[in-house]
Amino acid sequence: MTLNILIADDHDMVRETIAMFLDADGGSTTVAASDLQEALDLINGQGPFDLVLLDYTMPGMKGLEGLQAALDANDGKPVGLISGTATRLVAEQALEMGAIGFLPKTLPAKSLVNAVRFMAAGEIYAPVSFMSGKDGPEETDFEKALSDREKQVLRGLIGAKSNKEIARELDLQEVTIKLHVKTLCRKLDAKNRTDAAMIARDAGFM
């Protein structure tokens, strides 16, 4: 039986990597979305899916509100969260709300594929090491140097978004985003916004 899986994440690289591993493993076809609205449109148009994976911080999610919307839309079929930044508390709340699982983006590819198989089969998945707090997302030195707002702007730059798009997403003025980009370039010793995005990617920042 072929599993139909929807992967919703605003980072092309993350979506493509997960899809590549799943498709290579055989037995599943993947569909991609880059924000919550696109994911919901796909669920309503092509769903329900055997499994929906939502990135916790992608546009439109508003924390766990997006999870609830996807759970409602996917007609009782499994919906899981993936995240590089969410805490154990968020993971616990997601599971309480009915999420089928929580995948930290730090999971090795093989574990990720196995976890997806578990969840599509209706088994709840959450890495014990993460849930016990031994393996929560430790902030890297790179991240410690940045404010939360700078991290949000930097994610926008990695996603090749314009200042206008980032401003709209974060509900800020475009001029404020410009200032943040300037500060980021200075902090990261980057020549321009593209260079800042490359430096962040090389540092493993997602």
Per-residue pLDDT of 38-90, as tens digits, reads 999 999 999 899 999 999 988 998 888 999 999 999 999 999 999 887 778 88
- 150 and 100 in a common domain: no
Q: Is residue 136 part of a domain?
A: no
Query: What are the residue ranges in the chain where pLDDT is below 50?
Result: 135-137
Amino acid 144: pLDDT = 73
Same-domain status, 18 and 103: yes
Q: Which residues pair with 54 in a beta bridge?
A: 8, 81
Domain annotation covers residue 79: yes
- Tell me: do 104 and 36 sit in the same domain: yes
Q: Are residues 57 and 20 in the same domain?
A: yes
Picking from 65, 56, 62, the residue whose alpha carbon sits closest to that of residue 137 is 56
What's the CA gap between 201 and 16, in Å, rounded?
15
CATH number at residue 86: 3.40.50.2300
* Domain match, 84 and 178 both: no
Q: HSE of 196 in the Cβ direction (CA atoms, 13 Å)?
A: 25
198 torsion bin: left (phi>0), alpha (psi -120 to 50), beta (else): alpha
Is 161 part of a structural domain of the chain?
Answer: yes
Residue with the two structure tokens 């839309």: 73
Using the 3D structure, point to which of 88, 107, 131 is the last residue of a domain.
Answer: 131
CATH number (domain holding residue 174): 1.10.10.10
Same structural domain, 120 and 156: no
Outline where the chain has alpha helix (H).
12-25, 36-46, 65-73, 88-97, 109-120, 128-131, 141-144, 148-158, 163-170, 174-188, 193-202
Q: Cβ atoms within 10 A of the Cβ of 85, count?
A: 17
pLDDT tens digits for range 33-43: 999 999 999 99
Whether 105 maps to a domain, the answer reads yes
25 and 98 housed in the same domain: yes
Same domain, 51 and 9: yes
Number of domains in the chain: 2
**Per-residue model confidence (pLDDT) at position 9:** 92
Whole-number pLDDT of residue 171: 85
CA distance 56 to 17: 17
Same domain, residue pair 7 and 102: yes
> Residue 116 belongs to what domain range?
3-131
Question: Which sign does the torsion angle of CA 102, 114, 47, 166 carry?
Answer: positive
Q: Is the peptide bond before 48 cis (omega within 30 degrees of 0)?
A: yes
Q: Indicate the residue among 98, 131, 164 that finishes a domain.
A: 131
Q: Under DSSP, is residue 29 helix (H, G, I), strand (E, B) or coil?
A: strand
* Token code pair at residue 73: 């839309």
Using an 8 Å Cβ cutoff, are 9 and 15 in contact? yes
